[in-house]
């Protein structure tokens, strides 16, 4: 069973990349081009029927950027089920609110680095970042 990057999601993923939010563009600029620990991140990558904002296949690590509609009860339940599904494949999910990214990108960067350090077998990342 194919769970990564199903072909039926390709047009939607392309559209989401084209129409990315300002917060998504900020995070993409933080993680693109192997800037953190020489790790490759994909933008709008598919897992199952879901599209992740950012995904590092090597670490099975996803970053999701949530807008205001994610505070709706139904959307929160859907997000929880989605996270549970992703966790079942060993994927760790880190979520940020749009406003956190827009107004505290340095804090977001540090949280991403801290999460990656927890997932790496050795904490060599801190030495690379200095």
- What span, in angstroms and rounded, lies between the C-alpha atoms of 49 and 128? 35
pLDDT of residue 69: 62
Q: Backbone phi, then psi, for 51, in 5-degree steps?
A: -115, 120
Structural domains in the chain, CATH included, are 7-129 (3.40.960.10)
CB 39, CB 119: distance < 8 Å:
no
Identify the bridge partners of residue 65 per DSSP, sorted by sequence position.
96
Whether residue 84 has pLDDT greater than 90:
yes
Q: Alpha helices, DSSP H only, in 2-104? A: 10-18, 22-31, 73-87, 98-103
CB 91, CB 61: distance < 8 Å:
yes
pLDDT of residue 70: 54
Whether residue 8 has pLDDT greater than 70:
yes
Please give the structure tokens belonging to residue 11. Answer: 């047009």
State pLDDT tens for residues 52-71. 999 999 999 999 999 866 55
- What span, in angstroms and rounded, lies between the C-alpha atoms of 69 and 74? 10
- Compute the average pLDDT of residues 88-102: 96
Whether residue 130 has pLDDT greater than 50:
no
Please give the structure tokens belonging to residue 113. Answer: 């680095």
Please give the structure tokens belonging to residue 20. Answer: 């990315």
46: left (phi over 0), alpha (psi -120 to 50) or beta: beta
CA within 13 Å, CB half, 56: 24
Instruction: Return mean pLDDT, the chain.
Output: 87
């Amino acid at each position: 069973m194919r769970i990564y990057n199903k072909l039926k999601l390709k047009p939607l993923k392309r559209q989401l990349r084209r129409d990315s939010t300002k917060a998504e563009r900020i995070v993409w600029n933080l993680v693109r081009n192997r800037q953190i620990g020489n790790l490759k991140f994909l933008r709008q990558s598919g897992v199952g029927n879901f599209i992740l904002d950012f995904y590092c296949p090597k670490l099975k690590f996803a970053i999701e950027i949530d807008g205001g509609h994610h505070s709706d009860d139904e959307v929160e339940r859907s997000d929880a089920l989605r996270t549970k599904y992703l966790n079942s494949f060993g994927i760790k999910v880190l979520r940020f609110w749009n406003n956190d990214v827009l107004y505290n990108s340095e804090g977001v960067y540090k949280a991403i680095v801290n999460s990656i350090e927890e997932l790496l077998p050795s904490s060599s990342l801190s030495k690379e970042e200095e």
